[in-house]
A and B are shown apart, each in its own frame.
Chain A
Amino acid sequence: MNTVPHWGIFITEPMILGSDVLIVLTSVAIVFVLTKFKKWGWLWREWLTTVDHKKIGIMYLIAALLMLFRGGVDAELMRTQLALPNLSFLDAEHYDEIFTTHGIIMILFMAMPFIFALFNIVVPLQIGARDVAFPYLNAISFWLFFFGALLMNISFVIGGSPDAGWTSYPPLTELGFNPGPGENYYLLALQISGIGSMATGINFLVTILKMRAPGMTLWRMPLFTWSVLSSCVMILFAFPALTVALALLLLDRTLGAHFFTMLHGGNPMMFINLFWIWGHPEVYIVILPAFGVLSEVISTFSRKATFGYGSMVFALVAISIVGFLTWVHHFFTMGAGADVNLFFAIATMVVGIPTGVKVFNWLFTMYRGRIRMTLPMMWAVAFIPCFAIGGATGVMLAVAPADYQYHNSYFLVAHFHQALIGGAVLSLVAGMYYWWPKMFGFMLDERLGQWGFWFFNIGFYVCFMPQYALGLMGMTRRIYTYPAGLGWTVPNFISTIGAYMMGIGFLFIVWQILYSIKHGKRDVTGDPWDGRTLEWSLPSPAPHYNFATIPTIQGRDAWWMAKQGELDKKDFLPDKDDIKPIHMPKNSGRPFILSVSFFIIGLGIVFGVIPFEVIGGLGVAFCMFRRSFEYDTDYYVPVDEVIHTESALGRLQG
Chain B
Amino acid sequence: MTTKEALINYCLRIGDTSLILGQRMSEWCSNGPILEEDIAMTNIALDHIGQARTMLTYAGELEGKGRTEDDFAYKRHEREYYNSLLSERPNGHFGDTVARNFLQSAYFYHLYSALSSSKDNMIAAHAAKSLKEVTYHLRHSAEWVVRLGDGTEESKEKIQTSFDEIWEYTGDLFEMNEVDDVLIKEGIAINQTEIKAKWDKTVDEVLVRAKLQRPKDAYMHSGRLNAIHSEYLGHLLAEMQFLPRAYPDAKW
Q: Are A and B part of the same complex?
A: no
Binding site for B on A (CB under 8 A): none
Binding site for A on B (CB under 8 A): none
